[in-house]
Amino acid sequence: MHSVGICGSDVHYWQHGRVGDFVVKNPMVLGHEASGTVIKVGAGVAHLKPGDRVAVEPGVPRETDEFCKTGRYNLSPTIFFCATPPDDGNLCRYYKHSASYCYKLPDNVTFEEGALIEPLSVGIHACRRAGVTLGSKVFICGSGPIGLVNVIIAKMMGAAAVVVTDLSASRLQTAKEVGADFTLQVKNETPQEVATKVESLLGCMPEITVECTGVQACIQAGIYATRSGGTLVLVGLGPEMVTVPIVNAAVREVDIRGIFRYCNTWPMAISLLASRRINIQPLVTHRFPLEKALEAFETTKRGEGVKVMLKCDPTDQNP
């Protein structure tokens, strides 16, 4: 292993021992945003060889069920997923993974970019599910790492205007740097007031809203803001039960869609990175050697920077 990013879910498992229905019952290795170098392959592996640099897709189906057959393997109930109990993650020196879910990195794509394909994939999957296309007006709630990758991918898919909201001015500045057209720092506005401000910034109600916080008030704002006939995609995970203006969404035919991780995204992400059509390097703000993992997790917990990256190879600490 070379580079492993720390995700909010990693911190949540560390602090709370569970995320939703996934409960930590035994010691578990964290980490699922990863890249590394192949040192050994199984007898049946033809597309990889020792020395190859690869990005690791953490979700591997255990069986070819109906979801795999329809190309939605992320929904398979028996899927293996790094750092989701009881499956160990890849924040370690050496790690074994299914070769079919290891993707060779082109020479001009760094290990860190390879590790960032995982959060980037959430953006690709969310924007696909939302139907972002040429000329779309998009509202993104939240400017953390997942909000930022959604900004990058929405613009890449042709969005004409993207507005991002957050509590943090520094995170909104980063959103500007990666392509957001408008930013709105939320203080104590009501969800309806946020929706009105979003419409004012865009000059119209957005056809698409991507909600990346899981916060009840943000979901409410997302419904109020989305244009009639538009789509709201729920990416952020918060409390199991939330109160939302469901009648408002229903009578205006606002489609509410969920996403669960991603599927079929690594090849697209690698193509975008290799062609330099997108730049995700600014997302990495902190780097720590594996020995300082606790310090790295504390940094993420405090909400400092954007993406904290752990370097697992003691002989190569470069990006």
What pLDDT is recorded for position 123? 98
Query: What digits encode the pLDDT tens for the residues 145-168?
Result: 999 999 999 999 999 999 999 999
| pTM score of the predicted model | 0.97
Query: What digits encode the pLDDT tens for the residues 195-207?
Result: 999 999 999 999 9
Tokens for 38? 């192949």
Residue 256: pLDDT over 90:
yes
Show me where the domains of the chain are located: 3-120+262-311, 130-258
Mean pLDDT within 21-32: 96
What pLDDT is recorded for position 138? 98
Percent of the chain with pLDDT over 90: 98
- For residue 183, the tally of other CB atoms under 10 A from its CB is 21
**Which of 175, 215, 181 has the alpha carbon at shortest distance from 198?**
181
What pLDDT is recorded for position 274? 98
Q: How far apart are alpha carbons 95 and 92 in whole angstroms?
A: 7
What pLDDT is recorded for position 191? 98
Q: CATH 3.90.180.10: does it fit domain 3-120+262-311?
A: yes
Percent of the chain with pLDDT over 70: 100
Mean pLDDT within 132-147: 98
Query: What digits encode the pLDDT tens for the residues 66-95?
Result: 999 999 999 999 999 999 999 999 999 999
Residue 21: pLDDT over 90:
no
Pairing of strands 102-104, 53-56: antiparallel
For residue 163, list its beta bridge partners. Answer: 139, 182
How many Cα atoms within 13 Å fall on the side-chain side of residue 197? 18
Q: Given pLDDT bands bounded at 50, 70 and 90, which one contains residue 20?
A: confident
Pairing of strands 231-234, 255-258: parallel
Mean pLDDT of the chain, nearest integer: 97
What pLDDT is recorded for position 154? 98
Q: Is residue 85 packed enough to be buried (19+ CB in 10 Å), middle (13-18) or exposed (0-12)?
A: middle
CATH of domain 130-258: 3.40.50.720
DSSP 208-247: EEEE-S--HHHHHHHHHHSPTT-EEEE-----S-----HH
Query: What digits encode the pLDDT tens for the residues 280-304?
Result: 999 999 999 999 999 999 999 999 9
Q: Given pLDDT bands bounded at 50, 70 and 90, which one contains residue 120?
A: very high
